[in-house]
Chains A and B, each alone.
Chain A
Amino acid sequence: MTTEVTNAPDKAVQGAFNPQSTAVSDQLPGHYPPPSATFEATTISAQVAPSSTGDAGLPPETLIDMYRHLALARALDERMWQLNRSGTAAFIVSGQGHEGAQVGAGFALERGIDFLLPYYRDLALSLVFGLSATDVMMAALARAPDPTSGGRQMPAHYGSARLNIITSSSPVATQIPHAVGIAYAARMRKTGAVAIACFGEGGSSKGDFHESCNFAAIHKLPVIFFCENNNYAISVPVEEQVSIEHVADRAAAYGFPGVVVDGTDVLAVYQVIKDAAERARKGEGPTLVEAKVYRFQPHTSDDDDRTYRDPDEVKAWRARDPLAQFEARLRDLGVLDDEQVARIRSDINREVDHATDAAEQAPYPDSSTFDRHVYADR
């Protein structure tokens, strides 16, 4: 079901990409090749999570459930691109490439207890926390039944009080201090909840990130800072965004652990977040987890990434597609076979079609409601 966006190579841009010789493989001329299995050579203080092997102790039903979420996130994402290119969905944000890390992280947390503070690329995480395909489509098409905002916000501004997904906005990293406050309240009220704040490496440049790390560390708050580093903040490459190689190394400056993990390895991320959540619940404080991922699509439907990245780089990372990798793992484990995969995929296609149809037929919000809910009493 993968749709490849045809990016006609721009000759003028190609010349700008000089492959760095630090690349592990000479066959991959991209600027940011996929990570090699280990980062020990380059981290300062952050731990490096080992690659996963086997099933990470998870039963087949859970593994299949994870796979389902991965596939659904991918299918929804692709469908939204189609809707955008056909002029139906005005604006969409893609998370293709991030799904593995997000599904791994989401499954390591307690749905219904823990809090998700997503950013706009966290489609898969939001699905794991309980948002449905129909919910996502309602938001994408700005229809009244959209549970995240009733059509008031742009798509990809996930939120649902019922699902403990905290309403999100467009300014970057403002959600990180919220996670800290939520964690503080959770501890004070003794609910045992953990808050996970998600952001890109661009978000880790914001003052709010640093202020939050500091505050959470001082009070040993049950919060996980989850950085999905995909090497680009729109077009700004990571070495112009972050002064060091690994965002996770920043944790040491605040006195708590940082962990780097291969974000394409679902079960590796799962394990790291599980450990971080356990630390948090025990009162040992925050953890900064940096998942190395890649963004297969442009930043949003309004972005054209041909101007700042080499399509060969994209191709190289697609070879490490978390969805394909996880499917391969599950087949290896004997948890999935062709028939199951086909059935899951056709189920998902049906689910996505159903969600799209429902959203297309749903009404727009009544214009007379536009000024409601500014205050508690109106």
Chain B
Amino acid sequence: MAQLQDQVTMAPATAVAEREDAPQKSFIDAIHDTLADEMRADDRIVLLGEDVGRRGGVFRVTAGLLDEFGPERVIDTPLAESCIIGSAIGMALNGLRPIAEIQFLDFIHSAMDQIMSEAAKIRYRSNNDFACPLVIRVPFGGGVHGALYHSQSIEAMFVHTPGLRVLAPAFPADAAGLLRAAIRGDDPVLFLEHKKMYRAIKGPVPTGDFEAPIGKARVVQEGTDVTIIAYGMMVHEALKAVSVVAEETGVSVELIDLRSLKPLDEDCLVQSAKKTGKVLVVTEANEACSVASEVAATVGEEAFAYLDAPVMRLAAPDVPAMPFSPPLEHAFLVDAEKIGAALRRLISY
């Protein structure tokens, strides 16, 4: 299997304004530091996954943790995704708080049975006799020349599965806060880390013990004319698009970062749609049955009387995955340019 870390392109840093007093951290450091803090505070926490120990993770998210916590708590597993998740479930059932890593979301399919049939259903099927407090961390998303099998954005399948929580932070503060909430919660959580953001996105991260609320979106900027709803890297692409289009047209855009894909913050989305009347939902995943489709359907249903245009989705085309060669990847990928074009269409509707 290709080791991707050498091929990840370092995109230029994008600063995101937030709580100005908090120290700036990269997305990857926010995750790493939270893992370390939590493992220090709770010795039931165990990390397991391929290359998470010695190598510190192929993206180096778990660097140094083996040294600090030892091999019993940081396990380099064999190349067996189903067993990684299955044994993590067993650990969760017997008093530990496991955090399993699947090296790329593209490789999670082997573990689907364990995630869907087991983790998601354990509490429900046992009528609350058992719980499965498990965090599954997975790098996802494209734009790093990862091609078909290192770029996938297939989170929709998990959002479709009751019993799971699915999180996809876009800012370092949320990466830290949501990860902490996931670790401390008692439900199985799929924690998606956009691999392009690891080093490209920096932002303020509060110090100390803070959790971000699962199920609440983040209003990145307020506006009155159009609402853009996005998650992951698309939030940053949308920010770029909005600044260009706003300067040209004077449009006032409200940008919402879902950050929690399941559960969705329906109230926030619907309120915004009622305010602006025009909504664009952006995802880098394939369009059919995407999270964007779910958001669009919800907004259309709940905010119908207030809409001044049909709810629009912008997503990847119906092509199996992201191609490798740069022009092909560019054609596939949703980026600031495409978001800007969609935004312009929506403004003039």
A residues near B (Cβ < 8 Å) are 115, 147-150, 152-153, 157, 159-161, 166-167, 169-171, 174, 176-186, 188-189, 193, 195, 207-208, 211-212, 214-215, 218, 372-376
Using A211-B80, A373-B123 as known contacts, say yes or no to A174 and B114 having CB atoms under 8 A apart: yes
CB distance from B260 to the nearest CB of A (A): 13
Cβ 8 A contact of B123, one of A115, A170, A193, A374: A374
Using A180-B86, A215-B83, A375-B165 as known contacts, say yes or no to A185 and B95 having CB atoms under 8 A apart: yes
**A324 CA / B189 CA spacing, docked (Å):** 50
Can you name 26 A-B residue pairings with CB atoms under 8 Å?
A: A148-B126, A148-B129, A152-B127, A167-B126, A167-B129, A169-B117, A174-B86, A174-B118, A177-B85, A179-B90, A181-B87, A181-B88, A181-B89, A181-B92, A184-B91, A188-B72, A189-B94, A189-B95, A189-B96, A195-B90, A208-B114, A211-B82, A218-B78, A375-B187, A376-B186, A376-B187
Which chain A residues lie closer than 8 Å to B89 at the CB level? 177-178, 181
Which chain A residues lie closer than 8 Å to B96 at the CB level? 184-185, 188-189
Q: Is the CB of A180 within 8 A of B127?
A: no
**A320 CA / B125 CA spacing, docked (Å):** 37
Which chain B residues lie closer than 8 Å to A374 at the CB level? 123-124, 162-163
In chain B, positions 55-93 with a C-beta closer than 8 Å to chain A are 72, 77-78, 80, 82-83, 85-93
Cβ 8 A contact of B127, one of A179, A185, A189, A373: A373
Which chain A residues lie closer than 8 Å to B83 at the CB level? 177, 180, 208, 211-212, 214-215
CB distance from A254 to the nearest CB of B (A): 11
CB distance from A275 to the nearest CB of B (A): 23
Which chain B residues lie closer than 8 Å to A372 at the CB level? 128
CB distance from A211 to the nearest CB of B (A): 3
Q: Is the CB of B117 within 8 A of A174?
A: yes
| Chain B residues within 8 Å of chain A by Cβ, number | 42
B residues near A (Cβ < 8 Å) are 46, 72, 77-78, 80, 82-83, 85-96, 98, 110, 113-114, 117-118, 121-131, 162-163, 165, 185-187
Minimal Cβ-Cβ distance residue in B for A376? B186
**A280 CA / B129 CA spacing, docked (Å):** 27
Which chain A residues lie closer than 8 Å to B90 at the CB level? 177-185, 195
